[in-house]
Amino acid sequence: MTDSAPERVLEVRDLKVHFPVMAGALVRRQVGSVKAVDGVSFDVRRSETLGLVGESGCGKSTTGLAVLKMLDITSGQVIFEGEDISDHDRARMRPIRRRMQMVYQDPFGSLNPRMKVAEIVGEPLEVHGMAGDRAAYRERVASLLDMVGLLPDMADRYPHEFSGGQRQRIGIARALALEPTLIICDEPVSALDVSIQAQVVNLFQDLQERLGLTYIFIAHDLAVVRHISHRIAVMYLGRIVEIASSSELYGSPLHPYTEALLAAIPIPDPAIEATRPQQIITGEVPSAMRPPPGCRFHTRCPRVMDVCRSVDPPMRDMGGGRAVACHLHGA
Amino acid sequence: MGVPLLSVRGLSTEFRTERGTVKAVDDVSFDLAAGETLAIVGESGSGKSVTAMSILRLIPDPPGRIATGEVVFDGRDLLKLEDHEIRSIRGNRIAMIFQEPMSSLNPSLTIGLQIAEPINLHRKTPWAAAMDMAAELLARVRLPDARSRLRSYPHQFSGGMRQRAMIAMALACQPQLIIADEPTTALDVTVQAQILALLKEVTRAVNSALILITHDLGVVARYADRVCVMYGGRIVEAGPAREIYARPRHPYTIGLMASVPRLDQAAGSRLMPIDGQPPNLANLPPGCAFAPRCRHATDLCRAERPALASSGPEHHSACHYHDRLSA
Ligand SMILES: Nc1ncnc2c1ncn2[C@@H]1O[C@H](COP(=O)(O)OP(=O)(O)OP(=O)(O)O)[C@@H](O)[C@H]1O
Ligand SMILES: Nc1ncnc2c1ncn2[C@@H]1O[C@H](COP(=O)(O)OP(=O)(O)OP(=O)(O)O)[C@@H](O)[C@H]1O
Ligand code: SF4
Ligand code: SF4
Ligand SMILES: [Mg+2]
Ligand SMILES: [Mg+2]
């Protein structure tokens, strides 16, 4: 028997998503485009959690939505369980949708206010004909609610009756209903208090172990990301700048942006915080309409060199599954 | 503290539902001085947002109702003002940054218009100048291409960009009190640090006050002067931030601190949530609301509701055994 490499659930190749920017009061014309995702490649293996972190607006949610084909891809490829879905239309996506779910960043915008919680959570089961008889259905919904720490009597309430964190858990229960292969979690725990966050993170890990789920986990809380992810990709302005195992990334970050990100994590201890220098990367946040030439981080990089201003550093394989795009780490 | 800028006294807010009356906020009191930052932390559903919305009288009625209490701001009880009076305070002297940007941004208006509107309305600034200020504010919350982004609609913004647009809106009229409900949950740590530094700077510049609702205990540690911990609609612990971290005096706070994932912990290890379910606010137990989940609970706890009692310098805890706990 040979030891085969773990199977890839998802392969993303040079993905680009550009949004047109229009102007003009009467005649609308395109004046440019926001290069939200601008050449992103990565793989995710079965039962793996890939963390996706980076500055607000750098293209994380857009990457997630593009992988699910909920946005038009400008160019590049998305291969899900061996099938190239880059050019699939809605109809061809339908059977695949069941196996790919998303937990959304903004729970308010993504829950139907006219549906009761039980209906919201159970709807995917009905849509995909997995509802079973009445009793089985009720039981399944109740167990989904219980999994995410909601009380059974909450099933008959409407979303507006819940707090922000409770709504987020409804979204998670809904995504889990179909037991999909891949779940893209977009800030799934950032609306939750730390104790419930801990419950949900443990829940994600249990489900992964039990059902072999694969996750892309987008989040800003780097302690949580490190906790749950096997590997982490760091994005900056539409690109991945570093990808490594969690322990390597946190232990020895290679890219200066990763370093800056790790240095900015607040520590839950006022005594330490009072004496710690506030390390904030400065400089103008560059435009995703006109990304800087050369290295995209060069306008803010504390270690910028001449070459960085003109030459775009390619992604370099550093071995052991680690890669970085920075001239400091040349061949 | 001299005369506080804001003084909340005995505030109770409830919702009438089919399942009974939900006591979302139950007898909450706190003071806030100009220049001060107060953090409110606590479990999801513990009444943090409802407290904030009650201060500005934004509770939907029905089903909600502010049952009792006073909210004295700058000498006047906001709960007694006429509707037009509270409207002239909202977004002007007190600004609120809402937890879910999409619920308070109008999806069919451009971001620029939504930021310029309060400036035009409250400050009587002409539209063109208000738009210029909107662009400036967007740049201050670190939005790239601020000027051309004025014409964007909310759905064209990322989650964190929407949150920053809300913050820009809140800063527009230089309010004396900013209530920020999870203002940075959608932001990465570097932008978060910039935004919180900006909020601090703005509050310092005009000596205003900040209520920071957050569950990020790292953020609390870095930015808050004082902390209120809520559980089941009540304040269960309050005190200076340093005190609370060094000597938490309520079992819920102790559990909260223990459930934070830390970078110095082994990756992949189990986190330690507080076991059990949050209380049912329509049917609270007679004694301590935390008793069913508390490992120190006794018969006394189950029978008698503990009052907030002094537990150190400026430190209060609502636990029968506050003086016998150690973290
Ligand atoms: N319109 C409503 N109708 C009925 N119940 C409500 C309504 N709005 C809020 N509640 C209830 O009031 C309680 C307090 O909610 P609140 O939004 O203040 O929680 P929170 O502490 O802000 O939580 P989170 O951290 O999750 O945002 C919750 O149990 C919620 O279910
Ligand atoms: N529908 C759209 N139309 C135009 N621009 C868009 C659209 N959706 C996203 N963008 C832009 O694409 C860029 C990336 O957005 P995205 O939502 O992917 O960021 P993100 O990394 O998820 O950020 P955050 O952490 O703030 O959620 C932003 O500049 C955003 O304004
Ligand atoms: S390539 Fe140059 S500018 Fe870019 S991150 Fe590396 S050192 Fe900094
Ligand atoms: S009063 Fe009793 S049950 Fe409540 S927190 Fe204190 S020890 Fe626990
Ligand atoms: Mg996003
Ligand atoms: Mg809230």
Query: How do residues B127-176 score in pLDDT, each as one tens digit?
Result: 999 999 999 999 988 888 898 889 999 999 988 898 899 999 999 889 99
Q: Which ligand 3 atom lies nearest to the CA of residue A241? A: 5
Q: What is the mean pLDDT of residues B66-91?
A: 95
Output the pTM of the full model: 0.85
Ligand closest to CA A301? 3
How would you list the strands of the sheet with B6-17, edge to edge? B20-32, B6-17, B64-73, B76-77
Distance in angstroms (rounded) separating the CA atoms of residues B230 and A124: 35
Q: What is the distance in A from the centroid of ligand 4 to the CA of B12?
A: 22
Q: What pLDDT is stored for residue B280 in this prediction? A: 83
Which residues lie closer than 8 Å to A60 by C-beta, 6 or more apart? A52, A53, A54, A186, A218, A235, B158
Which of A49, A163, A168, A237 to mutate to test binding with chain B, by most B CBs within 10 Å of its CB? A163
B291 lines ligand 4 (CB under 6 A): yes
Question: 3-state class of A172 per DSSP?
Answer: helix
Q: What pLDDT is stored for residue A148 in this prediction? A: 80
Residues having CB within 6 Å of any atom of ligand 2: A 19, 34, 36, 56-62, 105, 288; B 155-161, 186
Is B13's Cβ below 8 Å from some Cβ in A? no
Q: What pLDDT is stored for residue B268 in this prediction? A: 63
Residue A232 or residue B102, greater confidence: A232
Residue A278 or residue B31, greater confidence: B31
Chain A residues with beta carbon closer than 8 angstroms to that of B142: 285
A80: left (phi over 0), alpha (psi -120 to 50) or beta: beta
Q: What pLDDT is stored for residue B29 in this prediction? A: 96
Strands B94-97 and B177-181: parallel
Q: What is the mean pLDDT of residues B55-80?
A: 94
Which residues lie closer than 8 Å to A157 by C-beta, 6 or more apart? A116, A117, B17
Which residues lie closer than 8 Å to B35 by C-beta, 6 or more apart? B203, B204, B207, B208, B209
Please give the structure tokens belonging to residue A67: 């992988």
Q: What is the mean pLDDT of residues B179-195?
A: 84
Q: Which ligand 3 atom lies nearest to the CA of residue A295? A: 4
ipTM of the complex: 0.80
Query: Any alpha helices (H) in chain B, and if so which ranges?
Result: 48-55, 83-89, 101-104, 111-123, 127-140, 146-149, 159-171, 189-205, 217-223, 241-246, 251-258, 299-303
Neighbours of ion ligand 6 (CB under 5 A): A 163-164; B 49, 99
Q: What pLDDT is stored for residue B173 in this prediction? A: 87
Contact B221 A272 (CB under 8 A): yes
Q: Which ligand 1 atom lies nearest to the CA of residue B99? A: 27
Distance in angstroms (rounded) separating the CA atoms of residues B165 and B146: 10
Ligand 3: which of A239, A254, A308, A310 to mutate, judged by most atoms within 8 Å of the beta carbon?
A308
What's B168's DSSP letter?
Answer: H
Chain B residues with beta carbon closer than 8 angstroms to that of A161: 15, 17
Distance in angstroms (rounded) separating the CA atoms of residues B81 and B118: 20
Number of A to B CB contacts under 8 A, please give it: 208
Is B2's Cβ below 8 Å from some Cβ in A? no
- Which residue positions in chain A have pLDDT lower than 50? 1-4
Residue B234 or residue A95, greater confidence: B234
Classify burial at B257, counting beta carbons within 10 Å of its beta carbon; exposed 0-12, middle 13-18, buried 19 or more. middle
Chain B residues with beta carbon closer than 8 angstroms to that of A157: 17
What is A229-288 written as a DSSP string? -SEEEEEETTEEEEEEEHHHHHHS--SHHHHHHHHTPPPS-HHHHHHS------SPPPPS
Q: What is the 3-state secondary structure (H, E, C) of A216-244?
A: EEECCCHHHHHHHCCEEEEEECCEEEEEE
Q: What pLDDT is stored for residue A1 in this prediction? A: 38
Contact A220 B186 (CB under 8 A): yes
Q: What pLDDT is stored for residue A301 in this prediction? A: 93
Q: Residue with the nearest Cα to atom 1 of ligand 1?
A: A161
| Partner residue opposite A164 with nearest CB, options B182, B260, B278 | B182
How would you list the strands of the sheet with A83-84, edge to edge? A29-45, A8-23, A75-80, A83-84
Q: Are A230 and A257 in contact (CB under 8 A)?
A: no
